[in-house]
Structure 1
Amino acid sequence: MAFRSRSNSDLNALPQRPDQGGAWFRFRTSPTKFLAQYVYSQRSTATLSTPETTDGGRISVVCISDTHNTKPSLPDGDILIHAGDLTQSGTRSELEQQIDWLDAQPHRYKIVIAGNHELCLDANHPSNDGKEDTRLTLDWKSLIYLENTSRTIRFADSRVLRIFGSPHTPKHGNWAFQYPRAYAGVWDDMAVPEDTDVLITHGPPKAHLDLGHLGCQSLRQTLWSMKRRPLLHVFGHIHGGYGKEIARWDTFQRAYEAIMDEHWIWLNLIVLVYCWILGISTGWAAAGKQETVMVNAAAVGGVRDEKRREAICVDL
């Protein structure tokens, strides 16, 4: 596969693309999916029931992604996570400037993955043919860089978090760290550990903070197959999906995802609405059920990426 830059016509077309995150655009595109997303959001944005620790403390996680050379102000916290696309053109000099910015932050742990814009970090990308491997010579300073790897971090109260990070996303254009969207076993190859507490991927799982359809179905299937699902899943990539939701891995969620996959839409819509009514009457009781906080922390957004968003903070 040869590296190919975008043509002028492609670049000129970008400002003309519709705002796919807008409610009116999504309703006109598919009223049924729009309704399913609305119903699902009534529970998924509910308050997370965070388990108590022995001392009543919390681990505060500051989530950011897709800064694209910007340097937003970040709140303090115990952990800072950047879920990729630090740069715009993917050059080493851009990346070093972003590293300097993150290195200056006060967080005890600063964890970073690459995104599809980090061309200089993808040793297999055609643009790096014959060049030195940037990963071997780059100084990450106080940052922990994960590339299909895990890191265990520890806190004074004896709490331990196991974090796994991967930069890979479904192929779109000629960017870095991409795989064929039809490759169903890609996340099996990544071998996400079963004891992962915090999962960081550059892209979202399909139907979750991805404008309904732009995420990876294989990643979502991997999450369903895990016996112990992560407490927190941080990603970005789809700028219009910015936000936070809670996945509870039950019939309600399966029905919603099936609708977004266009599988037995009307039957699953009935199931979804029934579970919604039942949930309202029971107060969405989730005792004993697994919960995953999903965060799309894309810092830029809008039709021309002119919007600037704040970091999203989560307490574990």
Structure 2
Amino acid sequence: MAAPKVTKTRILMISDTHSTDYNPEEAKRPFRKPLPKADVLLHCGDLTMIGHLEEYKKAIEMMRNIDAELKLVIAGNHDISLDSDYFEREGMRMHRQKWDRSCSKKALEMWKGDHANSAGITYLEEGTYEFKLSNGAKFSIYASPYQPEFCNWAFPYERHEDRYNPSNSSNSVAWEARAVARNPIPDFPNVDIVVTHGPPFGRLDATISGEHVGCSHLLSAMRRAKPRLHCFGHIHEGWGAERVDWSKRSSAQSLVSGSTDVKVANRFPVDEDKMIADRCAYVDVSSDGAEPLRRGEETLMVNASIMDADYRPVNGPWLVDLDLPAV
């Protein structure tokens, strides 16, 4: 039986840019223009510090000049006016003297309308989408801006709530979780890329104190879906990339109880000087690379947070060559 057709695709990933710009004069930082050319740009949320309209405009202008055929963007917990329910409850408290009840409506119109479209940006709300590229790639992507409740910021859910697995899934039943998924992540092999704001539990999710704060239900969904790529941000200190190997199973229950019992290759090493010179950290897991990704057995996980824990834009974007399905 012939192997499915694939095409090598270059993906540039950034997250948690928090209204910063990429200053070309900051020669000692990798996040500076021009960023590397790619087929796809993924921004994993936290475009702003607190969701003001002028911050969104700055984020759009920052991405306007990135050379990518397809630019896909989700929100994060700091992008509070893009969560209309949250903004209705908390917008006045968060925006204080700058509060404008219409800010949420205007923000959504900005990201869904001509302002973002003119920069080549497609804003993704929670759900599954399909896209085609001029290189022949046709891929599915699941997007979600939500993460476990965090200091009363936007796009929250409680840790006992399973937002990513179907209500009839053994994952939710075994964990005694409350199933709340409106748009569950599809089963393998129906999604190629997953982009979320928050990380899965135990995977590039450790805070500066060493605590793992990712979502165990999201990790379970990743084991079920086995996407080629899962990129996220949110936890600045977790910046990095690793290959997660699903081929040796561990019980779902052990994952919930706090174990990170997943067979994982060593985190990809990063040469900081090269990253600064190249304006990115680069990984090749395509069929042209030394160790191609094993579809259905491995997922490349990337925390693409540009900021460090002190909100300094010192981390580089991730640039990945990956095989995607071909038309």
- TM-score, normalising length: structure 1: 0.69
In structure 2, how many angstroms separate the alpha carbons of the residues matched to 1:81 and 1:110?
Answer: 6
| Residue matched to 2:158 | 180
The alignment yields a C-alpha RMSD, in angstroms, of 3.2
User: Is 1:242 aligned to 2:239, yes or no?
Assistant: yes
Identify the residue that residue 214 of structure 1 maps to in structure 2: 213
Provide closer, same or farther for how the CA distance between residues 235 and 286 of structure 1 changes in structure 2, counting only shifts above 3 A: closer
Could you say which residue in structure 2 is the equivalent of 1:134? 106
* Structure 1 equivalent of residue 171 of structure 2: none
Structure 2 counterpart of 1:198, one-letter code: I
CA contact (8 A) 2:47 2:79 kept: yes
Q: Which runs of 5+ in 2 are unaligned?
A: 23-31, 93-100, 167-180, 267-290, 323-327
| Fraction of identical pairs, as percent | 31
Amino acid at match of 2:321: D
Q: 1:296 aligns to what?
A: 303
Instruction: Please tell me the residue identity of whatever aligns with 2:59.
Output: Q
Q: CA deviation at 1:234?
A: 0.6
Q: Which of the two has higher C-alpha Rg?
A: 1
How is 1:57-68 mapped onto 2 (pairs within 5 angstroms)? Answer: 58-68=8-18
Q: For residues 141 and 128 of structure 2, what CA distance do their matches in structure 1 show?
A: 5
Using the alignment, how far apart are the partners of 1:168 and 1:286 within structure 2? 27
Following TM superposition, by how much is the alpha carbon of 1:128 offset from its aligned partner in structure 2, in angstroms? 4.3
The aligned counterpart of 1:105 is 66
Q: Which amino acid aligns with 1:312?
A: W
Q: Distance in 2 between matches of 1:193 and 1:82?
A: 21
The answer to whether residue 108 in structure 2 is matched with residue 115 in structure 1 is: no
Amino acid at match of 1:140: A
CA distances 1:56-86 after superposition (whole Å, capped 9, x unpaired):
x520000100011112322111111100001
3-state DSSP of counterpart to 1:254: coil
The equivalent of 2:25 in structure 1 is none
Match for residue 317 of structure 2? 311
3-state SS of paired residue (1:222): helix
1:293/1:286 CA distance change after superposition, 3 Å: closer
Report how far residue 149 of structure 1 moved: 2.6
**Which has the larger share of helix?**
1
Instruction: Look up the match of 1:224.
Output: 223
SS of 2:41's partner is strand
With the length of structure 2 as denominator, give the TM-score of the two structures.
0.67
For structure 1, the 5+ residue unaligned runs are 1-50, 277-283
Cα deviation code 1:206-246 (max 9, x no counterpart): 010111621001111112233xx211101000111100001
The alignment status of 1:87 with 2:48, answered yes or no, reads: yes
Distance 2:217 2:255 in 1: 16
Task: Name the structure 1 match of 2:130.
Answer: 152
Residues of 2 paired with 1:133 and 1:236: CA distance? Answer: 25
Closer/same/farther in 2, CA of residues 68 and 291 from structure 1, 3 Å limit: same
8 Å Cα contact 1:79/1:111 also seen in 2: yes
Shift of 1:184: 2.9
**Count of aligned pairs:** 247
After superposition, residues 39-78 of structure 1 pair within 5 angstroms as: 58-72=8-22, 73=32, 74-78=35-39
Query: Aligned AA for 1:60?
Result: R
1:160-202: CA deviation from partner (whole Å, max 9, x where unpaired): 1112211000001121111111213555413223311111000
Q: Provide the C-alpha distance between the structure 1 equivalents of 2:296 and 2:12, rounded to a whole number of angstroms.
A: 25
